[in-house]
């Protein structure tokens, strides 16, 4: 695929029955923090500006990315282009120092909801965010209380739409009974398909859009990661069981299949992986993250990739039994290891 032109407009998609209409591919902004080894030497204004030029309208960040750094970066980048952007951010994940060690946790209390939005608005330089997610459900706070407090933010004009991330079927139903939920953000890709059995059908039943994060398998599906040596020092994937050298070698068949399809279609492996996600429904808006303009342009051009029935058959056959790769620091549980 060639480099998309500045005038390119991504086809629009609406998140669920009540959510915003956005370009079919968004931009995940976790890369603008230290999580993937930092972004020294990268101009976030240039990357985000190019995304907007290409028709990307959904920018996704969170208060925990940095922490706080990503929201500040996004806020500066869109300061003069607010009307072009649907801004999504998240709250709820926390880190506290206990006996000299950092301990992760979740806080979905109404008090924390109110505190978090004001902090995010200040860092983003906005008077409202378009989509506000609970980053993970709080097991110690009924979801009705959390979503009830989030709904108050809608009434106050600080938030336009509500979302959840990594929520169960029961949590989705209980949350939607309190206030319309526009979107569920969850890991979904050729590398992580476990939400297909119950979560996606429930979202469609309830009119909730799907925003897949890590649609490129945290970069693995691009075919550029052959060993841990390919990851920068400080990159959190070095501690992910699915990025050990043994796991990468064992999973090579997945990348080989994606690469073969890409060669047949005249595009990149990453574009094949994104095209597969886009084909899962018009209510699906993936948010691949990148800090490089070159990769951003490749991702956007994936909207033009057309896969054949044979392509889908090959991709589905190789990927259907692969469990998710969500790392323990963000999923709050030990991820499954696979060989």
Catalytically active residues, by annotation:
65
- 3-class secondary structure for the chain? CCCCCCCCCCCEEECCCCCCEEECCCEECCCCCCCECCCCCCCHHHHHHHHHHCCCCEEECCCCCCCCHHHHHHHHHCCCCHHHCEEEEEECEEEEEECCEEEEEECCCHHHHHHHHHHHHHHHCCCCEEEEEECCCCCCCCHHHHHHHHHHHHHCCCEEEEEEECCCHHHHHHHHHHCCCCEEEEECECCECHHHCCHHHHHHHHCCEEEEECCCCCCHHHCCCCCHHHCCCCEHHHHCHHHCHHHHHHCHHHHHHHHHHHHHHCCCHHHHHHHHHHCCCCCECCCCECCCHHHHHHHHHHHHCCCCHHHHHHHHHHHCCCCCCCCHHHHCCCCCCCC
What residues contact residue 92 under an 8 Å CB cut-off, 6+ apart? 106, 107, 108, 112, 116, 134, 135, 136, 138
- 3-class secondary structure for 285-322? CCCCECCCHHHHHHHHHHHHCCCCHHHHHHHHHHHCCC
């Amino acid at each position: 695929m060639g480099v998309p032109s500045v005038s390119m407009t991504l086809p629009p998609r609406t998140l669920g029955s009540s959510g915003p209409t956005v370009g079919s591919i968004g931009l995940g902004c976790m890369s603008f923090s230290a999580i993937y080894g930092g972004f020294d030497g990268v101009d976030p204004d240039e990357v985000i500006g190019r995304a907007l030029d290409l028709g990307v309208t959904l920018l996704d960040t969170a208060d925990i990315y940095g922490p706080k750094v990503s929201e500040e970066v996004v806020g500066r980048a869109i300061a003069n282009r607010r009307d072009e952007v649907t801004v999504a951010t998240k709250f709820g994940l926390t880190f506290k120092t206990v006996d000299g060690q950092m301990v992760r946790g979740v806080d979905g209390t109404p008090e924390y909801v109110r505190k978090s939005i004001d902090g995010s608005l200040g860092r983003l330089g906005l008077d409202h965010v378009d989509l506000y997610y609970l980053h993970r459900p709080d097991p110690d706070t009924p979801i009705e209380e959390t979503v009830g407090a989030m709904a108050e933010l809608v009434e106050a004009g600080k938030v336009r739409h509500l979302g959840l991330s990594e929520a169960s079927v029961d949590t989705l139903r209980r949350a939607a009974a309190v206030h319309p939920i526009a979107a569920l953000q969850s890991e979904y890709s050729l590398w992580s398909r476990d939400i297909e059995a119950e979560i996606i059908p429930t979202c469609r039943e309830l009119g909730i859009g799907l925003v897949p994060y890590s649609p490129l398998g945290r970069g693995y599906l691009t075919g550029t990661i052959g060993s841990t040596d390919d990851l920068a020092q400080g990159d959190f994937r070095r501690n992910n069981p699915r990025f050990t050298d043994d796991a990468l070698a064992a999973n090579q068949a997945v990348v080989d299949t994606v690469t073969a399809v890409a060669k047949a279609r005249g595009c990149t492996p990453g574009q094949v992986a994104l095209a597969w996600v886009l084909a899962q429904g018009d209510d699906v808006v993936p948010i691949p993250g990148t800090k490089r303009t070159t990769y951003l342009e490749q991702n956007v051009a994936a909207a033009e990739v057309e896969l054949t029935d044979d392509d889908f058959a090959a991709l589905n056959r190789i990927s259907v039994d692969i469990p998710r790769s969500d790392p323990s620091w963000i999923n709050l549980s030990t991820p499954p290891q696979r060989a």
